[in-house]
Structure 1
Amino acid sequence: MKSLKKTRRIQIILVAAVALAFSTALIGYAMRDGINFFRSPSEVLAAPPPPHEVFRIGGLVEAGSIIRGQSDTVIFRVTDGPASVEVRYRGILPDLFTENEGMVGTGRFIDGVFQASEILAKHDETYMPREVMEALKDMDEWRGPDPQS
């Protein structure tokens, strides 16, 4: 009788351990493409990612670089001071998207051009994505106050 209880406990512990390992592996697999790290234009140009990798790029929209064509494609340059990257985006830009303002784009770097699938812009006159602000501070290009928490 003791042997049967002991065997049953061991079986339950093994099933629980296998279930935990399986769920951990499943969560890790699901998150592998869901995490997008922010990169500055300098980082992108220094170590270009492969064309299939989706990532986030951020910085300031370079003054005089916005080109709006006949279609819904917009071309502009994003800069962190020392470097700038051409960005192409097909769609409607956020209302607050302007030159010399912070932006973050999600997309792929193909043949030296960032093909954006999503563009985020500041949401009021004092907002800038934290990653953009920190990258600009690292490059000594930050010209604004620290955001309040």
Structure 2
Amino acid sequence: MTRKKRRLAMLGLAGLGLATAAALGLAAFEDNLVFFYSPSDVAAREVGERNFRLGGLVEAGSVRRMPDGLTIEFRVTDTATTLPVTYTGIVPDLFREGQGVVAEGRMRPDGVFVANDVLAKHDEAYMPPEVADALKRAGAPHGVKTLEASQ
């Protein structure tokens, strides 16, 4: 084999190795990819059997705690569509009706979202006290909430 053919073969093997590594990396990324949907998005499309994140507000009057003390049922709404959610575990301290929530899990065939993790979100106007103070000193508009003011 000539030197030119050997170099071409080595470049081909290196390219094949790089393509294989890229394909494996993309496959691993796809397995760990978790999409975020609102209740309206879930109603508009088939989400299938894969895990995804459901985000919205906890509907007022919808929170029910089961007798076992760990299971909670509630509804998540984006003001246009509402989805029932069930979760077994300890909910975050910020979890309450009317508060923003992100639940990760999957849909059951009966249309109930079964969450395996629930995250409560801060008020949209929340800002850390240090940032709020800096903005006030800079002449930002009033009405910025800090953690102390929102509790």
Deviation at 1:123, TM superposition (A): 4.5
Which secondary structure state, in structure 1, belongs to the residue aligned with residue 28 of structure 2?
Answer: helix
> What is the distance in 1 between the residues matched to 2:96 and 2:124?
11
Change (3 A) 1:33 1:121: same
Larger RCO (alpha carbons 8 Å, 6+ apart): 1
> What is the distance in 1 between the residues matched to 2:21 and 2:50?
25
2:130 aligned partner: none
Which secondary structure state, in structure 1, belongs to the residue aligned with residue 2 of structure 2?
Answer: helix
Q: TM-score, normalised by structure 2?
A: 0.76
1:95-126 deviations in Å (ceiling 9; x for gaps) = 11111111111111111100001111124674
1:59-118 deviations in Å (ceiling 9; x for gaps) = 000011111112211100000001100000011111111111111111111111000011
1:1-149 alignment runs, 5 A limit: 4-50=2-48, 52-71=49-68, 72-110=70-108, 111-123=110-122, 126=125
Q: Answer yes or no: is the 8 Å Cα contact 1:36–1:54 preserved in 2.
A: yes
CA RMSD of superposed structures (Å):
2.0
> What is the distance in 2 between the residues matched to 1:125 and 1:24?
39
Which structure would you say has the larger Rg?
2
> What is the distance in 2 between the residues matched to 1:76 and 1:116?
11
Count, aligned residues:
126
Which secondary structure state, in structure 2, belongs to the residue aligned with residue 33 of structure 1?
Answer: helix
Task: Indicate the percent of aligned positions where both proteins have the same amino acid.
Answer: 47
- Name the aligned partner's letter for residue 59 of structure 2: E
> What is the distance in 1 between the residues matched to 2:113 and 2:3?
62
Which secondary structure state, in structure 2, belongs to the residue aligned with residue 64 of structure 1?
Answer: coil
Which secondary structure state, in structure 2, belongs to the residue aligned with residue 118 of structure 1?
Answer: strand
Structure 1 unmatched ranges of 5 or more: 128-144
Change (3 A) 1:125 1:29: closer
Q: Answer yes or no: is the 8 Å Cα contact 2:106–2:115 preserved in 1.
A: yes
